[in-house]
Amino acid sequence: MPCASFARSPLILLAVICPLFASAPLRAQSLAPDPSQNTPAGLSLRDVSWEKLPQNFLLDQKEIWLFPVQLAHGHYWLPTLGVLGVTTGLLLADSHDAPYFRRTSGFQGFNRGFSGSITASEIALVPASFYLAGLIRKDSYSEKTALFAGEAVADSLTLNLIMKIASRRLRPSDISPTGNFSGTFFRSNASLLDGSFPSAHAMAAFSVATIFARRYRDHRWVPWVAYGVAGVICFSRITLQSHFPSDVFLGAALAYPIARFVVLQNQ
């Protein structure tokens, strides 16, 4: 891993700078209350700890996989149709836009700082640094934010694995620059973990971004930075020819509601 490229990546700066704000004063100002504190009557808040993580994960998975039951009861049709519509449009466009990124060399400099291993390390570094800062400062809010982020990533990547196994989509890099970029589903003979649909990096990045954007939303710059960096990571998956735009969009679109409504729930 080139040290210079790793150091240039913006998420490293985010991981180093943000824990400085993960202090007791920030927690006291946050709009998202700590479940350990008193909450209004009738409002149930999800708590998290190392001991509660396994149970939380199982409850999350139950809610995720039973989502079609919610649709059957008439709930969430509008956002679901919106995501399906955009994903379908991007799938139809993939065979037209993917060849450009497969053939161009215009993103070589950008790609050096956003390789798959570098961005995966950076995504993990953000909650890890917050957790460490929380331990040092004895700030339970920061520690729980990091654990919520880990929970969201675990939830998203479990769904991602099942979808990759089911879709077996080729990556753009699996296709020659002059090859046929249509009919990419059910064709991959690579590892079950190496399918293209949807993007695991996009799901992990938006899982972490959503947790931090929500938990520290009283600081207006945090959502902008969190989602901005996650968006850049998603774009890098396209320029690296690791994913089609539809893979990236769906990964982000699935990660957001999992983190926001399944993991954080009423927070």
Give the domain ranges of the chain.
50-263
pLDDT at residue 44, as a whole number? 53
Q: What percent of the chain has pLDDT over 70?
A: 82
pLDDT at residue 41, as a whole number? 40
Buried b (16+ CB within 10 A) or exposed e, 160-172: beebbeebbbbbb
Q: Is the backbone peptide bond immediately before 33 cis, with ω within 30 degrees of 0?
A: no
For residue 39, what are the CA distances in angstroms to 141, 166, 259?
A: 15, 42, 21
Q: How deeply is 221 buried, as exposed, middle or buried, from its count of CB atoms within 10 A (0-12, 13-18, 19+)?
A: exposed
Give the mean pLDDT of 166-171: 92
On whether the CB atoms of residues 212 and 26 are closer than 8 A, the answer is no
- Amino acid identity, position 124: A
Give the mean pLDDT of 77-94: 95
* Reported pTM: 0.83
- Residue pLDDT, tens place only, 96-146: 998 999 888 889 888 888 888 889 998 999 999 999 999 999 999 999 999
- Residue pLDDT, tens place only, 5-42: 443 444 444 444 444 444 333 443 344 444 444 343 44
